Amino acid sequence: MWADLATIGRDADSGGYRRYAWTGADADCRTWFQEQAEARGLTCETDRNGNQWAWLGDPPPASGGGSPTAGDAVVTGSHLDSVPDGGAFDGPLGVVSSFAALDELRRRGATFTKPFAITNFGDEEGARFGLACVGSRLTAGRLTKAQAYELRDGDGVSLPQAMEAAGFDPGIIGPDPERLARIGAFVELHVEQGRALDLSGDPVGIASAIWPHGRWRFDFRGEANHAGTTRLADRRDPMLTYAETVLAARREAELAGAVATFGKVSVEPNGVNAIPSLVRGWLDSRAPEQSALDVVTAAIEAAAREHAERNGIDLTVVRESFTPVVEFEHALRDELGKILGGRAPLLGTGAGHDAGILSESIPTAMLFVRNPTGVSHSPAEYAAEDDCLAGVIALADVLEGLACS
Closer CB to Mn ion, residue 79 or residue 114?
79
Centre a 10 Å sphere on the Cβ of residue 286 and count the other Cβ atoms it contains.
22
CB of 294 to Mn ion, least distance (A): 24
Does the footprint of ligand HGY cover residue 276 (CB under 6 A)? no
Burial-class residue 355 by CB neighbours within 10 Å (0-12, 13-18, 19+).
Answer: buried
Contact 222, 237 (CB under 8 A): yes
| Angle in degrees, 0-180, between the axes of helices 92-108 and 385-403, rounded to the nearest 10 | 60
Does the footprint of ligand HGY cover residue 185 (CB under 6 A)? no
Report how far apart, in Å, the C-alpha atoms of 277 and of each of 18, 232, 244, 269, 301 are: 30, 15, 17, 7, 20
Does the footprint of ligand HGY cover residue 355 (CB under 6 A)? no
CB of 405 to Mn ion, least distance (A): 32
Q: Under DSSP, is residue 150 helix (H, G, I), strand (E, B) or coil?
A: helix
Closer CB to ligand HGY, residue 97 or residue 241?
97
- Count of residues that interact with ligand HGY, criterion CB under 6 A: 5
Contact set for ligand HGY, span 160-179 (CB under 6 A): none
Q: Cα–Cα–Cα angle for 73, 78, 79, nearest 5°? A: 135
**What is the rounded (10 degree) CA torsion for 56, 33, 121, 317?**
180
Closer CB to ligand HGY, residue 108 or residue 319?
319
Q: Which of 160, 352, 363, 391 binds ligand HGY (CB under 6 A)?
A: 352
The binder of 352, among Mn ion, ligand HGY, none, by C-beta within 5 to 8 A per type, is ligand HGY
Backbone φ and ψ of 279, nearest 5°: -125, 125
Q: Which of 47, 90, 188, 301 binds Mn ion (CB under 5 A)?
A: 90
Closer CB to ligand HGY, residue 122 or residue 352?
352
- Count of residues that interact with Mn ion, criterion CB under 5 A: 2
Q: Under DSSP, is residue 374 helix (H, G, I), strand (E, B) or coil?
A: coil
Closer CB to ligand HGY, residue 258 or residue 351?
351
CB of 150 to ligand HGY, least distance (A): 20
Among the listed ranges 49-57, 91-99, 163-171, 290-298, the one in contact with Mn ion (CB under 5 A) is 91-99
Site string for ligand HGY, 101-130 (x = CB under 6 A): -----------------------xx-----
The binder of 91, among Mn ion, ligand HGY, none, by C-beta within 5 to 8 A per type, is Mn ion
Site string for ligand HGY, 311-350 (x = CB under 6 A): ----------------------------------------
Quote the CA–CA distance of 120 and 122 in Å, as a whole number.
Answer: 6
Contact set for Mn ion, span 259-288 (CB under 5 A): none
Site string for ligand HGY, 131-160 (x = CB under 6 A): -x----------------------------
The binder of 100, among Mn ion, ligand HGY, none, by C-beta within 5 to 8 A per type, is none
Quote the CA–CA distance of 47 and 174 in Å, as a whole number.
Answer: 10
Does the footprint of ligand HGY cover residue 188 (CB under 6 A)? no
Report how far apart, in Å, the C-alpha atoms of 43 and of each of 46, 137, 256 are: 10, 23, 48
CB of 148 to Mn ion, least distance (A): 20
Report how far apart, in Å, the C-alpha atoms of 379 and of each of 11, 13, 14, 256, 270 are: 10, 11, 7, 30, 27
Burial-class residue 220 by CB neighbours within 10 Å (0-12, 13-18, 19+).
Answer: buried
Centre a 10 Å sphere on the Cβ of residue 343 and count the other Cβ atoms it contains.
15
Non-local (6+) Cβ contacts of 371 within 8 A are 89, 191, 192, 193, 194, 195, 197, 198, 381, 382, 383
The closest alpha carbon to 218, from 156, 311, 287, 284, belongs to: 284
Does the footprint of ligand HGY cover residue 87 (CB under 6 A)? no
Binding residues for Mn ion (CB under 5 A): 90-91
Binding residues for ligand HGY (CB under 6 A): 124-125, 132, 351-352
